[in-house]
Amino acid sequence: MLEPTQKPILLKIAPDLNNNQLDEIIEIVAETKIDGIIASNTSTSRSGLKASKKQLQEIGNGGLSGLPIKEKSTRVIKYLKDTSNKAFPIIGVGGIHSAEDALEKIEAGADLVQIYTGFIYEGPGLIKQINKALLK
């Protein structure tokens, strides 16, 4: 009989966490031996949006993704990399709509990138653009 293969476990975190909370995440990863972090999930913050309060109330609650969380996500990636001394893999997510955005996440410390909203709005050609930029 074949031995079951262990599957990696990654923790996906919000871009809204402060440095103290991120320090706790780093400790949790070290203690539990979680295989890596996905930074970041959607945001509950609505700061910096152009929509009015009325429009936001009509839309309702939910996670905010894409370009509005780009900078927060990159900050979290860089903080995790610098503070943990690159102790675990980081998957960069949030606001990747171009090859430059993907490279920014990698330069901040991401080992891989995940595209979701950018893929929806930019289409499959975005993958080819990112791959070409990585090869340069």
Provide block-wise average pLDDT over 10 residues at a time, the chain (136 residues): 80 95 97 95 68 68 74 96 97 95 97 92 94 93
- Give the pair of three-digit tokens for residue 77: 């990636």
Distance, CA of 89 to CA of 111 (rounded, Å): 6
Q: Can you give the pLDDT at residue 69?
A: 83
Domains along the sequence of the chain with CATH: 10-42+62-135 (3.20.20.70)
Identify the pLDDT of residue 43. Answer: 74
* Contact in structure between 40 and 74 (CB atoms under 8 Å): no
Q: Can you give the pLDDT at residue 3? A: 65
First to last CA, the chain: 45
Centre a 10 Å sphere on the Cβ of residue 4 and count the other Cβ atoms it contains.
6
Instruction: Find where tokens 């945001």 sit.
Output: 43
pTM summary value: 0.86
At 47 the pLDDT is 67
